[in-house]
Structure 1
């Protein structure tokens, strides 16, 4: 099973949707950009198409998947129609083949954007021999329990807190969100281990503003490595690493070299 703890390294360097700052997110080009900068693991999102394959997409919002070329919904379109708008859109199978053929040493962090077809997801991981190199994360408890049955050799991570509306990508809402997170910070170290136990998770994916030495220590005491998202500012990187996190997820993996060797 992939090691998401700190043994042998200070922390895991994880590219968010590949390297979303350097290339279009959730594409193989973005994966290659992340690997060129030296990541240990790549995080990417998996969405289901109605009547089509599993694909890499963060949401059902066509604007995101087409990188601004079109608006509308993703799930209802065929793969062929989507690729007219987003030619570089990979299927889940194509992404897995990439990790076998081009990135045999890189870990996979699959973030669920679906609540069905988990048997298909698990079967694909086994078919490519990648189940034990994979961490699967989400916030929906029934989905995580289903994933545990479908891919028992993959590691499960609980994402906290839920960001269903992608608020983390809307800077104008950050001041309001920060106030809410401040109120959660004191209790997160006690709450997270209980949530993880309920869903069978063995790692936690914690929003970086909730990372403190205390919250990380309480998760570690419960045997839970902490991966934190999404860290793009140098001061935030220094803070979460000092707090003892086991992995850092970033849109721009260049931050690791630029900040921690400065």
Structure 2
């Protein structure tokens, strides 16, 4: 995998409305080579780029995201809440996001945002879309807090670069990573200890930390072996890529 040290979070969530095409483009303008976005399954098989369980915070709509129909979600304004200059910015579909990211020459960390149990129904359409549209497997990572979803990913395509997402590193992290032949552990930088970081690295896995927005927040983490930082403002870290 062609991993770099800096990855934009939800595009670049401090620079433009998160998980929108505008946010992906804002990330690209910083010079960052990778972005992380969330794919959220909604009603009738829709796959949109969105984070929250409800529509309220990041759109002018309301209600439970998973229950919303695609036509409704695509009609919402997902930019005005961030700033008037983004008024009219929409919620992208997975297909639209893939096209945008590839046009910009970026790598994609696609987080499967799904807390349910029906992973056998949810995961295959996501992978099918990626198989049809994503061109460079060396520039694609799939991550999730939902471990069963990652298990399905591994079963359907054992060559995928998978990342297990956690907040606090669990005691069984090594068993979990081994079980899906994971590429990396992606964890909350503020919960990570030096002992945990060094153990992950010694076990042969990559270590990515979210969501740090100042260099001081993770200055020790680089020494512990952190491979990449996931940040809302890539500008803060782009000097590391030179």
Q: Shorter-chain TM-score category? A: 0.7 to 0.9
The whole-number CA distance in structure 2 between the counterparts of 1:53 and 1:150 is: 20
**Residue 229 (1) aligns with residue 235 (2):** no
Question: Which of these residues, 162, 172, 191, is aligned with residue 156 of structure 1?
Answer: 162
The question of whether the paired residues in 2 share the 8 Å contact of 1:13 and 1:248 is answered with: yes
RMSD: 2.2
Any unmatched runs of 5+ in structure 2? 78-88
**Residue 95 (1) aligns with residue 97 (2):** yes
Give matches, 1:168-207, under 5 Å.
Answer: 188=169, 191-207=172-188
Shift in CA distance, 103/194, structure 1 to aligned 2, threshold 3 Å: same
How far apart are residue 121 of structure 1 and its match? Answer: 1.2
Question: Which of these residues, 182, 189, 213, is aligned with residue 208 of structure 1?
Answer: 189
Q: Deviations over 1:208-242 (max 9, x none)?
A: 02334332221111110000011013311322223
How far apart are residue 17 of structure 1 and its match? Answer: 0.2
How far apart are residue 65 of structure 1 and its match? Answer: 3.9
The question of whether the paired residues in 1 share the 8 Å contact of 2:209 and 2:230 is answered with: yes
The question of whether the paired residues in 2 share the 8 Å contact of 1:56 and 1:89 is answered with: yes
The whole-number CA distance in structure 2 between the counterparts of 1:65 and 1:54 is: 17
Question: Per the alignment, in what secondary structure is the counterpart of residue 51 of structure 2?
Answer: coil
The question of whether the paired residues in 1 share the 8 Å contact of 2:197 and 2:207 is answered with: yes
Number of residue equivalences: 224
How far apart are residue 32 of structure 1 and its match? Answer: 0.6
The whole-number CA distance in structure 1 between the counterparts of 2:213 and 2:32 is: 14
How far apart are residue 52 of structure 1 and its match? Answer: 4.1
How far apart are residue 149 of structure 1 and its match? Answer: 2.6
Give the TM-score normalised by the residue count of structure 2: 0.84
Residue matched to 1:60: 53
Q: Deviations over 1:22-80 (max 9, x none)?
A: 101001110010111111210000111111421101132101341xx232112222222
Residue matched to 1:3: 2
The whole-number CA distance in structure 1 between the counterparts of 2:196 and 2:6 is: 20
How far apart are residue 82 of structure 1 and its match? Answer: 1.6
Residue matched to 2:38: 45
Any unmatched runs of 5+ in structure 1? 5-10, 162-180, 182-187
**Residue 71 (1) aligns with residue 62 (2):** yes
The whole-number CA distance in structure 2 between the counterparts of 1:73 and 1:189 is: 30
The whole-number CA distance in structure 2 between the counterparts of 1:151 and 1:122 is: 9
The whole-number CA distance in structure 1 between the counterparts of 2:61 and 2:55 is: 6
The whole-number CA distance in structure 2 between the counterparts of 1:249 and 1:78 is: 30
The whole-number CA distance in structure 2 between the counterparts of 1:257 and 1:199 is: 31
The question of whether the paired residues in 2 share the 8 Å contact of 1:13 and 1:256 is answered with: yes
